[in-house]
Amino acid sequence: MSTTPQMQTATPASGRAPKVVGLVCDWAVGTTELADAAGRLRAHPSVTIIRVPCSGFIRPSWLEDTLKAGADGVFVVGCPYGDCLNREGNYLMRERVDQLQRRLARRKIPAERLAMLAYGLHDVDAFLAEVAAFLKRLEALVPPAAPARPAAPRPAQTASQPVQTEEGA
């Protein structure tokens, strides 16, 4: 990753933060104070949280569909390994996420767009830090947006070099 100032913030060169959906087990990290009524994280407004009864409830097809619907990334949050309220949910989800990542990799979709996290009720800071790291990894993957259309028709003479707008990728 380059270290130009733009990459330090959550906004990549394309101008928008990565859109992420997080499916969070309601028994895991406490999200009541972290998210607003619509489920957007206050710390990272491009991340939306959906609360589910167990991390094991999540069907891998939903994660895939969310990526196809245009999300840059999807993550699942379960309880710390060993402490799932339903005993095995987070282990089962861990294995399903692994399988899905291998399937995505075979289709050349980067596996880093999917993540399985494990945080308990009080691990709020660690959870937010991990989400921030996840967003940063996604920015490295988000291709910088090409200009939608040239503002004016291209001049016939091409003596000048096109300006390099890509950040290191």
How much of the chain is helix, strand and coil, in % rounded to 5? 35, 15, 50
Identified binder of another protein from the candidate list 101, 104, 127, 139, rule CB under 8 A = 101
Min dist. Cβ of residue 19 to another protein (A): 5
Identified binder of another protein from the candidate list 77, 123, 131, 142, rule CB under 8 A = 123
CA distance 95 to 100: 9
**Would you count residue 73 as binding another protein (CB under 8 A)?**
no
Identified binder of another protein from the candidate list 15, 33, 37, 59, rule CB under 8 A = 59
**Would you count residue 50 as binding another protein (CB under 8 A)?**
yes
**3-state secondary structure (DSSP) of residue 115:** strand
Identified binder of another protein from the candidate list 10, 17, 35, 89, rule CB under 8 A = 89
Identified binder of another protein from the candidate list 27, 127, 131, 139, rule CB under 8 A = 27
**Would you count residue 145 as binding another protein (CB under 8 A)?**
no
Q: 33 and 127 in contact (C-beta within 8 Å)? A: no
Identified binder of another protein from the candidate list 7, 85, 109, 132, rule CB under 8 A = 85
Read off the tokens for 166.
Answer: 């890509």
Please state, in angstroms and as integers, the Cα–Cα distance from residue 99 to each residue in 7, 55, 90, following that order: 31, 15, 14
Strands 114-118 and 47-52: unpaired
**Would you count residue 86 as binding another protein (CB under 8 A)?**
yes
**Would you count residue 12 as binding another protein (CB under 8 A)?**
no
- Give the position of tokens 């767009």: 113
Question: Applying CB under 8 A, what is the total number of residues that bind another protein?
Answer: 53
